Chain A
């Protein structure tokens, strides 16, 4: 399961990343393995999405979300 497949309101826990370059940036922003992520909304045009992670809201594109694999 990838983060990009979650619907609004669904929760997932980060397992690993498929892209090293992207993972470095995501981890800096608090998206680490073991961290809980909630999808809080999707932009009006369907991309990007907004997630809640480690206590704040982060937006990222669908493609970027697809590099995050959930448990």
Chain B
């Protein structure tokens, strides 16, 4: 880049837009990660509540791999997008709450072999458990392009 010459106002605005676009694109990872976690949480809890033994075991292994993979993915990132630092703590707190709540309900409230309305309740619970991270994905809106 040109590091010495002075800039006109138009050139300065163009450079701001160029850099801004690049940084924002690189900062979208968190939104995609939240979305992936949200969908995975629905699948995970549905499997844990309604699936047979082998499916539950597979879901638990998948969850462990997802957690390890997510840490590695986050570690590799070099941009934290606008508002992520503040949003992250709120979402983490709520996420832990809904996950613990889902685990509690699955252990103490749902029957071992749910049928009828219990199936609906289990699916609803799986959806509720994912709300914090899906909210995070919606707030970050990585699919929306430049804002």
Judge: A and B partners, yes or no. no
